[in-house]
A = this chain, B = another copy of it.
Amino acid sequence: MTEAQAGMASGEVPVGAIIIKDNVIIGRGHNTKEMDHDPTAHAEIVAIRNACATIGDWRLDGAILVSTLEPCPMCAGAILHARIAVVGYGAKDFKWGAAETKLNLFEDVRFNHITNAYYSPSLECETMLTGFFKQLRQPHG
């Protein structure tokens, strides 16, 4: 949530992610798409790059990624490539969700890695996102 709040403070869609391995947080990220002019800078991708830089390896075997929002196909693909073991998220993404809502890439046995994904409903994650988009839609006076 701290990461998501940091994103919102910069005017970004408030999504945050952390990566834990051996009980230590090795990566953090929030959406920086607008600031960095980078469509790939979703919270999960930023956190994966941060974690890989921390450990000096692209393999995050056994790691857990926790995100405030259900990963999209791009982020789900990156999570599979990084061999992350478990993903947890607090809100469903009804537009892009690739864990269960639009499709399920994590348990697609046709790929060479399976990540276990868990939806742990969080009112805090939900309301931060709905509040952000409601504010965006308000007319400017």
Q: Which residues on A are within 8 Å of B, measured CB to CB?
A: 33-34, 36-40, 45, 48-49, 52-53, 56-60, 72-78, 80-83, 95-96, 98, 102-103, 105, 108, 110-112
Contact = CB atoms under 8 A, between A and B. Distances in A.
Nearest to A110: B102
Contact of A105 (B60, B73, B95): B73
A53 to B, nearest CB: 7
Given A33-B58, A73-B73, A39 B111 contact: no
B96 A39 contact: no
Contacts of A81: 39-40, 72, 74
12 contacts: A37-B57, A38-B58, A39-B48, A39-B58, A40-B81, A73-B74, A73-B77, A73-B80, A73-B98, A76-B77, A77-B77, A102-B108
Nearest to A96: B111
A38 B50 CA distance: 9
Contacts of A57: 37
A40 B34 contact: no
